Structure 1
Amino acid sequence: MTPSLSVTLLVQHEVLYATCVFGVNDDLKRTLPRSCAFELEFLNLPLTSVLGIGTSECTTDDLWPANGDCNLWTAKLFPACSSRKQSCEAALLTIAAIKENGLFTFLRGFTVLVSMEDVMVLKTGTSMLDFQLGLQSKMLS
């Protein structure tokens, strides 16, 4: 995973970066009622085990909009960080935390969490294009 996989976001006039990761079998559009939302699977594990639900670490209100659908597309699972490097590190920590102990509690340390839906709305194509052009320029020189 390289920093070029991070998406540049504009959140309240601040540039942030998010790197979203999913499992091959994750169904981003599978929608469940709020009462069953934690049955959704993220990185091939049910959200109940991924988020430490049994320990009251997380509720549906923490992940989904109050009146919105409960699916992986709208779940706020990804930290928005101040640098591409931090964003990539957070994505790798997400995978490691889930695979090692099934807990996702480190998210509490981030002030801004985004969903894939948020990423599509908040992404700033200009910054992403500038970054890609900068990389291309470095490779060609």
Structure 2
Amino acid sequence: MFGSDYSASPFGGRNAYQAVQVGTGVDGASPHQLIAMLFDGLIDCIAQARGAIRAGKIEEKGRAISRAVRIVDEGLKAGLNLKEGGALAAQLNDLYAYMALRLTQANLRSDEAALDECVQLIEPLRSAWAQIDIKTAA
């Protein structure tokens, strides 16, 4: 699903995480932790965008949603290995493309329902990813 050395990829690697400003701790994180950070960063950006919509802060909403789109495109989607990842990688690629579209629409229309849809789509992946970490640590 992901490249063999996800963290070394120029698009899906540590540079992408730093570029989308997910947070600190990138340098010492495993590839699994990096993906978890992207999921967390995406949820955080969506929450910031929702708060900005409610507060009528258009520029802040735009920045938060732009950051969310970058996390999806430059972090999550760019890290997929479509050649070796099979159907799962292709489905995730489609999901991430759809989410980027919905986030863009949310930005254009200040649409909280579109933001909610993106959270509903990413939460199962985020939870499943966290379970993988728990199982491998045990």
Q: Which has the larger radius of gyration?
A: 1
- State the TM-score, normalizing by the size of structure 1: 0.29
Structure number with the higher helix fraction is 2
Structure holding more strand per residue = 1
